Amino acid sequence: MTSVLVIDDHPIVLQGCRRLLEDAGVEKVLEASTLLTGYRLFRREKPDVVIVDLSLQGNGLSGLMLVQRLRAQSAHTPILVFSMHGDPVIASRALEAGANGYVLKDTSSSVLMEAFERVRRGQPYMSHDLAMQVALLGTRKATPLADITPRELQTLSLLAEGKDYTNIAAELGVSYKTVANTCSALKSKLGANSLPELVRRSIQYLSTSPVSAVGRSPTGRLS
CATH of the domain at 188: 1.10.10.10
In a domain, 223, yes or no: no
Q: Are residues 57 and 156 in the same domain?
A: no
Percent of the chain with pLDDT over 70: 87
pLDDT at position 203? 82
Tally of domains in the chain: 2
In a domain, 222, yes or no: no
For the cut 90, the answer to whether the pLDDT of residue 32 exceeds it is yes
pLDDT at position 140? 53
Q: Are residues 128 and 172 in the same domain?
A: no
For the cut 60, the answer to whether the pLDDT of residue 42 exceeds it is yes
pLDDT at position 17? 95
Range of the domain at 157: 150-206
Per-residue pLDDT band at 36 (split at 50, 70, 90): confident
Q: Whole-prediction pTM value?
A: 0.70
Residue 71, C-beta contacts closer than 8 angstroms, at least 6 positions apart: 79, 97, 98
In a domain, 213, yes or no: no
In a domain, 145, yes or no: no
Residue 111, C-beta contacts closer than 8 angstroms, at least 6 positions apart: 103, 127
State the chain's mean pLDDT as an integer: 84
Across the range 150-167, mean pLDDT stands at 86
Q: Are residues 68 and 120 in the same domain?
A: yes
Task: Residue 98: give its domain's CATH number.
Answer: 3.40.50.2300
